[in-house]
Amino acid sequence: GESVGLHLPTLSVQEGDNSIINCAYSNSASDYFIWYKQESGKGPQFIIDIRSNMDKRQGQRVTVLLNKTVKHLSLQIAATQPGDSAVYFCAEGESTGGFKTIFGAGTRLFVKA
Amino acid sequence: DGGITQSPKYLFRKEGQNVTLSCEQNLNHDAMYWYRQDPGQGLRLIYYSQIVNDFQKGDIAEGYSVSREKKESFPLTVTSAQKNPTAFYLCASSIWVDTEAFFGQGTRLTVV
pLDDT of residue A101: 74
Rg (CA), chain B: 13
Find, among A78, A36, A74, the residue nearest to A55 by Cα. A74
Model confidence band, residue B46 (pLDDT cutoffs 50, 70, 90): very high
Looking at per-residue pLDDT, the higher value among A1 and A24 belongs to A24
Model confidence band, residue A99 (pLDDT cutoffs 50, 70, 90): low
Determine contact: A103 vs chain B, CB below 8 A: yes
- Output phi, psi for B100, to 5 deg: -60, 145
Beta carbons of A59 and A45 less than 8 angstroms apart: no
Model confidence band, residue B28 (pLDDT cutoffs 50, 70, 90): very high
Q: Coil, strand or helix: which one is A83? A: helix
Phi-psi region of B49 (alpha: psi -120 to 50; beta: other; left: phi over 0): beta
Find, among B106, B107, B100, B108, the residue nearest to B27 by Cα. B100
Nearest chain B residue to A3 by CA: give it: B42
* Beta-strand runs (E) in A39-106: 45-51, 56-58, 62-67, 72-77, 86-94, 100-103
Find, among A39, A42, A46, the residue nearest to A60 by Cα. A46
Model confidence band, residue A2 (pLDDT cutoffs 50, 70, 90): very low
Alpha carbon separation from A24 to A71, A107, B100 (Å, rounded): 6, 12, 19
Mean pLDDT of A30-41: 92
A4-8, A102-106, B76-80: which has the highest mean pLDDT?
B76-80
Nearest chain A residue to B60 by CA: give it: A1
- Output phi, psi for A18, to 5 deg: -90, 145
Q: B14 CA to chain A: closest CA distance, Å?
A: 23
Quote the CA–CA distance of B109 and B101 in Å, as a whole number.
Answer: 22
Q: What is the mean pLDDT of chain A?
A: 88
pLDDT of residue A93: 84
Interface test with B, best of A3, A4, A25 (most B CBs within 10 A): A4
